[in-house]
Amino acid sequence: MPLLERHYTEEHRQFGDQVRKFFAREVTPFVDAWEKEGLVPRTAWKKMGEQGFLCPWLPEEYGGAGADFLYSFILTEELARTHCGSFFFPLHSDIIVPYLFAYGSDEQKAKWLPGCASGDIITAVAMTEPGTGSDLAAMRTTAVKDGDSWVINGQKTFISNGLMCDLVIVAAVTDPRAPTPYEGMSLIVVENGTPGFEKGRRLEKIGLHAQDTAEMAFVDCRVPASNLLGSEGAGFYCLMEKLQQERLVCAMGSQVGAEEALRITLEYVRTREAFGRPVSRHQYISFELAKMATEVELGRTFLEACLLDHLEKKLDVKRASMAKYWICEMLNRVVSQCVQFHGGYGYMEEYPIARMFRDARVQTIYAGTSEIMLLIISRQLGL
């Protein structure tokens, strides 16, 4: 029995059944249309909220179920089977909303969290800027205190959920004279419709076609001083504190994506014939699939160990970075080979492996590139 299965209760299994049936009814039939329209509609988010599938870990007082993190993993697993990597609710539920819960005041949590759980509020986080990429120390967006307000000026790019979002957590420099750039950074919440907050153009991406990624601009954007999230100057440290879960969420999505890509490829090569026999009976292909299956199995074992550590609050920076690096890279190796074994059909949009190939590529880039992960790991090794 897989390591994680031993920790599942009957409630976990029932939840998985509910999610599977819901996705089969409300997601899978519409994926192709969403890809063509370039958007997962707000109605899908609302239906997720109505079922209790958004932020299930939130306490009941804020609209959640007080569930453990395994419920989030179950949702990620079932999402992979829909072949809809563009439905970015894990970003909302397991990466952004945790900032509001961990660092928000009682007033902020009461104001925003119930809407996050119901699907009435879709969230985004704005860190990346044109020309800075992973270098947060080079951030140029500023927020200046003016009476009982913060006035924000700057530009952000590559913002996931950027067009749909009702709430965005903005990283900005609030003290340019701080001893280091990291000590002068704060997080400020900006609500959609705030004067001076402009959602820019939709960015056209290689993959994730139904996921809205956008630019943002803040031009003398004035928000209440009470929208500061956490302490002034603590923004960078808040981001670092939550990065372990963010990296784990990326590893989760990549692992179940690799498993699904392998599954549909095994089905294909068993039925597709070449030179008078099934493709799977050609030794080279069977050996390569055996190698891929081994990598996928290793990824699952490491991921489950990291998940259990995370449940016990024991997941450290090194292992989270290793999981994000290796599993996301493994996904890209697997889907590339799976396309190859589909032959010409693997390049056709009507076959799900084509979409999975496109969608996988970004996993080694966002939430910290593979190179950044290697830098972090090497430092943790004392190098």
Q: Residue 129: is its pLDDT beyond 60?
A: yes
Helix (H) or strand (E) holding 124: strand 123-126
CB 338 within 8 A of CB 261: yes
3-state secondary structure (DSSP) of residue 77:
helix
pLDDT given for residue 241 in this prediction: 87
| Residues 298, 247, 113: CA angle, nearest 5 degrees | 130
How many angstroms from the chain centroid is the CA of residue 313?
20
184-202 per-position pLDDT tens digit: 999 999 999 999 999 998 9
- What pLDDT is stored for residue 269 in this prediction? 92
pLDDT digits (tens, 9 = 90+) for 27-69: 999 999 999 999 999 999 999 999 999 999 999 999 999 999 9
> Using CA atoms, how far apart are residues 242 and 237, in angstroms rounded to an integer?
9
3-state secondary structure of 138: helix
**pLDDT at site 243:** 86
Ramachandran angles phi, psi of 360, nearest 5° = -70, -30
The domain at 124-233 falls in which architecture? Beta Barrel (2.40)
pLDDT tens digits, 312-327: 999 999 999 999 999 9
- pTM, entire model: 0.94
pLDDT at 2: 66
Question: What's the pLDDT at 1?
Answer: 53
Return the domain boundaries, the chain: 4-121, 124-233, 237-380
DSSP helix/strand/coil, 209: coil
pLDDT tens-digit series, residues 257-288: 999 999 999 999 998 877 777 777 888 899 99
> CA 14, 20, 23: angle at the middle one, nearest 5?
140
Length, in residues, of the chain: 383
Q: With contact defined as beta carbons under 8 Å apart, do 80 and 6 qualify?
A: no
Average model confidence (pLDDT) across the chain? 94
Distance between CA 108 and CA 101 in Å, rounded? 9
pLDDT band at 134 (very low <50, low <70, confident <90, very high): low
Instruction: Please give the backbone phi and psi of residue 314, each rounded to the nearest 5 degrees, phi first.
Output: -115, 0
H-helix segments, the chain? 10-26, 31-37, 42-50, 70-82, 89-91, 97-103, 106-118, 235-271, 283-311, 317-342, 352-360, 370-380
Contact 338, 262 (CB under 8 A): yes
Annotated catalytic residue, options 246, 259, 260, 304: 246
How far apart (Å, rounded) are the C-alpha atoms in residues 357 and 257?
10
Helix axes 10-26, 70-82, angle to 10 degrees: 30
Contact 228, 216 (CB under 8 A): no
> In the CATH scheme, what is the homologous superfamily, with its name and number, of domain 4-121?
Acyl-CoA dehydrogenase/oxidase, N-terminal domain (1.10.540.10)
**Is 241 tagged catalytic?**
no
Rounded Cα distance between 41 and 89, Å, is: 12
Residue 107 has pLDDT above 90, yes or no: yes
State which fold the 237-380 domain adopts: Butyryl-CoA Dehydrogenase, subunit A; domain 3 (1.20.140)
pLDDT value at residue 133: 67
For residue range 215-243, list pLDDT tens digits in order: 999 999 999 999 999 999 999 999 888 88
